Amino acid sequence: MKKKIFYFFLFLAASALFHQQTHAQNTTLGIFEAQGDVGIVKHKGTGTYDPILQVYNLSGSGANIWAKADGFHFVWKRMKGDFILRTNAAFIGKGVEDHRKIGLMVRTSLDSNSKHVNAVVHGDGLTSLQFRKTVGGETEEKKSTLTHADVIQLERHGNKYIMSVAHKGELFVEEEVSDIDLGDDVYVGIFICSHNTNVTEKATFNNTRIVVPAPASLVPYRQYLGSSIEILDLETQNSRIVYQSPKSLQAPNWMADGRNLLYNSEGLLYKFDLKTNMPTVFNTGSAKNNNNDHVLSFDGKWLAISSADKTGSSIGWVVSTKGGEPRRMNEIGPSYMHGWSPDGKYIVFCGERNKEYDVYRIPSAGGPEERLTNSPGLDDGPEYSPDGKYIYFNSVRSGLMQVWRMKADGSEQTQLTNDDYNNWFPHVSPDGKWIEYITFLKNEVSPGDHPFYKHVYLRVMPVGGGPSKVIAYLYGGQGTINTPSWSPDSKHLAFVSNTSLLFPVFPIATN
């Protein structure tokens, strides 16, 4: 009898848990807390979130977001302090009014006449930074030179708000406004307004993120923000978060089986199963001080790692992808492993010798290292092309950090990017068609540095050089893509973004 009662209560508990989980997944608003119509709205709006695809769908009515009062549908979260909001937003269907609106908003309250700042795209393409400085005051705006924005970002620094907008694939264009005091505790979120009380409009929002950036007091390389591992679909440029941690996770490699990632955290390497979305420690034997320069051989059998020896200097090591005790590669350091030759005979790395950082190669079976670059300044991030003919790397020799290419013997060193940014860590796609790299802003980062917690772009360009396009807009930097992160089929990329604010995610496996 006791056993029957026990199982009965066990059944009730399991049923309750199932109900709670189902209810949570059906009603979740992802990174937001609540939703509702603001002001007088004739047709009730809705907001739904697909936890698998990580996409929001909004419908809403409302007369306008303008003048002294607003009417619209709002999906929001209460926040304090500084933050960055970002989304890719698009109307669904042709629509009725030219001035229907979608975008990102920060409000003092949910009253229709609240002070607010919003980054908005209108139905006719007008893109602007709108704001109401006082309760019940007139709404003002700064029009962007860019219209029909696909990517919208709104950032708060105290009482300063910065709107950054772009067409998908292009760099941001900015507008800003200062001295807008909304108070510390605000409502932040995504919105839709039909600009016609009799009409309901619809829109979709993807790549939606709320980032809490590093505080000014953060001590670099001693204090860390949380990390999100994301998987980017190159065709759609939509990204899904598959794993989050309050710890610093860095440099995901995509393993040859296509089913696992490899990343480092707090001196250890972890194997991340994309089917179960669970990490396990990867065995590197006595190497317990691993950094984010680790790279897999083309055949998937070997892993080159960079780990501090007893002197504290980073040294290259090789270990089987089955795990085990690693074999030391370098006599001296620091040395940072970056790429294997396709035939597995060589490993290229960045090494500091006599206070100069250059590209070297070393036989994977062991032997003397060979210097391939000798220009003054930093040369880093070397990686072979899949055909073994070239080595791609980044160099500061021309002023800013740029992407370069040379033949496998070090000859014919040629600059491939030449823009007003700092470009690091070129990674060639397995099909040999594209180069992915990370871009830092020169007003944030000096050419020879690639720190944590900055505004960065991920970009791709044709392997032989040519126009680049942005594939991701991020807050990240060090550890985002230090090592090759292409999927074996060249259709996806893995990378790390950062924030001190983490949310529950419902990831799915990548085939």
Dmax over CA atoms of the chain, in Å, equals 84
237 near 251, Cβ under 8 Å?
no
Residue 428 and residue 383 in contact, taking contact as beta carbons nearer than 8 Å: yes
Question: Contact 281/268 with Cβ under 8 angstroms?
Answer: yes
- Token pair recorded at residue 134: 């006082």
* 250-254, strands of its sheet edge to edge: 250-254, 260-265, 268-273, 278-282
CB 97 within 8 A of CB 141: no
Neighbours of 492 (CB within 10 A): 20
DSSP-derived letter for residue 472 is E
List of E strands, 123-254: 127-132, 140-143, 151-157, 160-166, 173-177, 186-193, 201-211, 226-233, 239-245, 250-254
Task: Give ∠ CA 306-309-310 in degrees, rounded to 5.
Answer: 165
Report d(CA 395, CA 391) in Å as an integer. Answer: 12
- At 132 the pLDDT is 98
* pLDDT value of position 503: 72
Contact partners, residue 36, CB within 8 Å, separation at least 6: 45, 73, 74, 110
Place of tokens 């590209």: 359
Q: In 10 A of CB 6, how many CB atoms?
A: 10
How many angstroms separate the CA atoms of 422 and 419, rounded? Answer: 8
Of 187, 193, 141, 169, the closest CA to residue 37 belongs to 193
Residue in this structure with the two tokens 């199932």, named with its chain if needed: 18
d(CA 30, CA 209): 10
Domains of the chain, start order:
34-211 (2.60.120.200), 226-499 (2.120.10.30)
pLDDT digits (tens, 9 = 90+) for 167-198: 999 999 999 999 999 999 999 999 999 999 99
Dihedral pair phi/psi, residue 21, rounded to 5°:
-65, -45
Report d(CA 501, CA 96) in Å as an integer: 38
Integer Cα distance of 505 and 244 in angstroms: 8
Q: Residue 502's pLDDT is what?
A: 78
Q: Would you give the DSSP letter of residue 18?
A: H
How many angstroms separate the CA atoms of 333 and 368, rounded?
Answer: 13
Q: What is the value of pTM for the model shown? A: 0.93
The parts of the chain modelled with pLDDT lower than 50 are 1-27, 508-511
Q: Give me 128's structure tokens.
A: 């602007």
Residue 116: is it exposed, middle or buried by C-beta count within 10 angstroms (0-12/13-18/19+)? buried
Q: How many residues does the chain have?
A: 511
Distance CA 37, CA 35 (A): 7
Contact between residue 374 and residue 367 where contact means Cβ atoms under 8 Å apart: no
pLDDT tens for each residue of 4-54: 333 333 333 333 332 333 233 334 899 999 999 999 999 999 999 999 999
Q: Are 191 and 72 in contact (CB under 8 A)?
A: yes
Contact by Cβ (8 Å): 479, 248: yes
**Helix (H/G/I), strand (E/B), else coil: 204:** strand
